[in-house]
Amino acid sequence: MSFRKDFMWGAATASFQIEGAWNEDGKSPSIWDVFCEEPGRIEDGSDGKVACDHYHRYKEDVKLMADLGLKAYRFSIAWPRVIPEGTGKVNEKGLEFYSNLVDELLKYNITPFVTLYHWDLPYSLQIKGGWLNPEISDWFEEYTRAVVAKLGDRVKHFITFNEPSVFLGCGNLFGVHAPGMKCGSRDLLLAGHNVHIAHGKAVRAIRELAPDAQVGITLATMPRIPNGDMDEKAAYDIYFSCHKPFFVWSDAYWADPIVFGHYPEDLVNECKDIFPKVTDEDMKLISQKIDFIGQNIYQGKYEEGYERPRGTPHTEIGWDTFDSALEWGVKHFYKRWKLPIYITENGLSCHDWESLDGKVHDPNRIDFLHRYLRGLKTAADASCDIRGYFQWSFMDNFEWAKGYNPRFGMVFCDYNTLKRIPKDSAYWYKEVIESNGENL
């Protein structure tokens, strides 16, 4: 079966990680702008004020995407650039940037995939409670309407949220990401429900304003991989288990309400005394039909009792590699939710630098991508409905609390000169795209 003839081969970025122009043309601070101001929060003491300066260099970057053969580009919108106070007056200059970006992409026949929320909440809303304030679902709907009214005539793929497990888990449970909070289960359940309601209201708004657009959500996931001591069913069951205190990391917690119309029963029973009030109207709103589900997959996980061998390959950031992570992530998700799937992020950080010959050689990335994409091809051959693959990332960028040390890009960015250099892997990926993955 292999990959579909219309398979979307692309790359992805996020607004805060590449745009810079942190206070230009009416943009207000996000929670990440404020988080970066606090000493010790970012490993290398850096911030996103300039980043890759994509805000000013987007035409150059899109031309490079076209030169490298990308068919699609997933990017996110900065909420504080569009509505600086989070609610109220729309900043037309901010919206115009994204409109111009979309036009530039379409000029080169690159399909835009827009993520509405990739973590840069307006700070003005954080001081009102952020995701703990039930009013945030209305604020998010208002923001969504502003974006879709401007872009929905040309953008046909929208993603409501990127990795809610991470922005709540790292930002509101562990406190290592913005806004740096450490909440208990009661507050996390409330915040999670507010995110679900916001998702539902955003889907409703997109359906109304861009009825021919496709809508989905992207989850960060670490697939459970069967091994010699455990069968596929056991891996599947543990993969989708959901219990406190780490329920926010469960894919079932995020997708079951959307697809099945209810939260996981085990969690509801376990947390019945602290679970927020959920009405039938809430669940009807949350469980509106979506068209696809996005998976961000970097690692996998074997079961307890199975130890990874010493010297297991790992990336610069310290993440172990799992050749079959994409295969099993897709197989498990498709078995459970029967929705078309996009791999919305996959890639690795390497110790990349400009060599004496002026090029950036990254053989480890090529090998990693080759292995993972073979696994994805196996899932496609198994009749899973896989629609596209977005490499993370198009360009080296600000890697959140890690700063600028990890380099995930297929394009090297010299942060001093802002020069872009396609790495060897970018040219390898171009050949994969040209063959629609037949050369894997």
pLDDT band of residue 293 (cuts 50, 70, 90) is: very high
Q: How many residues does the chain have?
A: 440
pLDDT of 60 over the 80 cut:
yes
Question: Does 298 belong to an annotated binding site?
Answer: yes
Q: What angle do CA 212, 215, 220 make, to 5 degrees?
A: 160
Q: Which is catalytic among the residues 104, 141, 163, 327? A: 163
Taking residues 256-282, report their average pLDDT.
Answer: 97
pLDDT at 149 over 80: yes
Q: 8 vs 337, 388, 436, CA distance in Å?
A: 21, 4, 9
- What does the block give as tokens for 180? 């740096």
CA dist 336 and 259 (Å) reads 10
Catalytic hit among 141, 345, 354, 434: 345
- CB-CB contact of 171 with 179 (8 Å): yes
Environment class of 395 (CB within 10 Å of its CB; exposed 0-12, middle 13-18, buried 19+) = buried
Nearest by Cα to 413 from 426, 403, 404: 404
Residue type, 91: N
pTM: 0.98
What gap in Å lies between CA 320 and CA 301, rounded to an integer?
9
- For residue range 205-229, what is the model confidence (pLDDT) as tens digits? 999 999 999 999 999 999 999 876 5
Q: For the chain, give the percent of residues with pLDDT over 70.
A: 98
DSSP bridge partners of 11? 73, 391
- On whether the CB atoms of residues 320 and 299 are closer than 8 A, the answer is yes
Share of the chain above pLDDT 90, in %: 95
Mean pLDDT to the nearest integer, 354-370:
98
Domain boundaries, the chain: 8-434
- Residue 281 is labelled as binding a ligand: no
pLDDT at 227: 79
Question: In the beta sheet, which residues pair with residue 320?
Answer: 314
Q: How confident is the model at residue 353 (pLDDT cuts 50, 70, 90)?
A: very high
Indicate if the pLDDT at residue 1 is higher than 70: no
177 marked as part of a ligand binding site: no
Predicted pLDDT of residue 302 = 84
- CB contact set of 275 (below 8 Å; sequence gap of 6+): 189, 263, 268
Q: If you ran DSSP here, which 8-state letter would residue 183 be given? A: -
Residue 41 reports pLDDT greater than 80: yes
Query: Is residue 303 over pLDDT 90?
Result: no
Report the chain's mean pLDDT, rounded to a whole number. Answer: 97
Give residue-wise pLDDT tens across range 2-22: 899 999 999 999 999 999 999
User: Does 288 appear as a known binding residue?
Assistant: no
pLDDT, average across residues 298-322 = 87
Q: For 239-248, what is each residue's pLDDT tens digit?
A: 999 999 999 9
43 catalytically annotated: no
The dihedral formed by the CA atoms of 51, 56, 61 and 63, expressed in degrees to the nearest 10 = 180
**Which CATH superfamily hosts domain 8-434?**
Glycosidases (3.20.20.80)
- 434 part of the active site: no
Token match 């359906």: residue? 207
Residue 65 phi/psi, 5-degree rounding, is: -55, -45
Residue 227 annotated as binding site: no
Contact 36, 47 (CB under 8 A): yes
Does 270 belong to an annotated binding site?
no
Tokens read off for 205: 């708004």
The answer to whether residue 307 scores a pLDDT higher than 80 is: no
d(CA 360, CA 395): 13
pLDDT of residue 309: 83
CA distance 263 to 244: 13
- For 371-422, write each residue's pLDDT tens digit: 999 999 999 999 999 999 999 999 999 999 999 999 999 999 999 999 999 9
What is the pLDDT, as a whole number, of residue 306? 73
> E strand or H helix at 195, and its extent?
helix 185-209
Place of tokens 């069951």: 237
Query: What pLDDT, on a 0 to 100 scale, did the predictor assign at position 308?
Result: 81
Residue 9: its pLDDT value, please?
98
CA distance 21 to 346: 27
Q: Which residue stretches of 83-161 are H helix?
A: 92-107, 123-126, 136-151
Return the pLDDT at 132: 98
pLDDT, tens only, 106-146: 999 999 999 999 999 999 999 999 999 999 999 999 999 99
Residue 228 has a pLDDT of 64
236 is in an annotated binding site: no
Q: What is the dihedral of CA 290, 233, 346, 251, to 10 degrees?
A: 50
Residue in the block written with tokens 């987007």: 58
